Amino acid sequence: MSMQEMNRELVYGRYKFNIKVELNSRIEKTPNGKRWHNIIINDMGVTNYYKKQEVEDSLLIKTIYDMENDAKFWVDNRPDNISTPDSRLSDLGFK
């Protein structure tokens, strides 16, 4: 069985990521052998965010969710996305 690729875009904040799944990147050569897939997520903009993970078939969906959440966490914790206490209070109407 040949490897098949599937892609999906994830937009979060001002960032756009591509999530690529390479299905059947490795297959055990035994009857009913296990299958592994590569998951790659990378920023489509100017940053160098890139993560790749090989995962066994039963963990495919969970790992995709985990990698998406890691990318969102990375965006949320970038210095340009962290509000200072002053700006947060100003947003609430404090002077």
Q: How far apart are CA 12 and CA 89, in angstroms?
A: 24
Helices (H), 40-84: 60-76
pLDDT tens column, 19-45: 999 999 999 999 999 999 999 999 999
Prediction pTM value:
0.80
Domain positions in the chain? 4-89
- 21 to each of 16, 42, 48, 74, 89, how far by Cα in Å? 17, 12, 19, 20, 42
Counting residues of the chain whose pLDDT is more than 70, the rounded percentage is 85
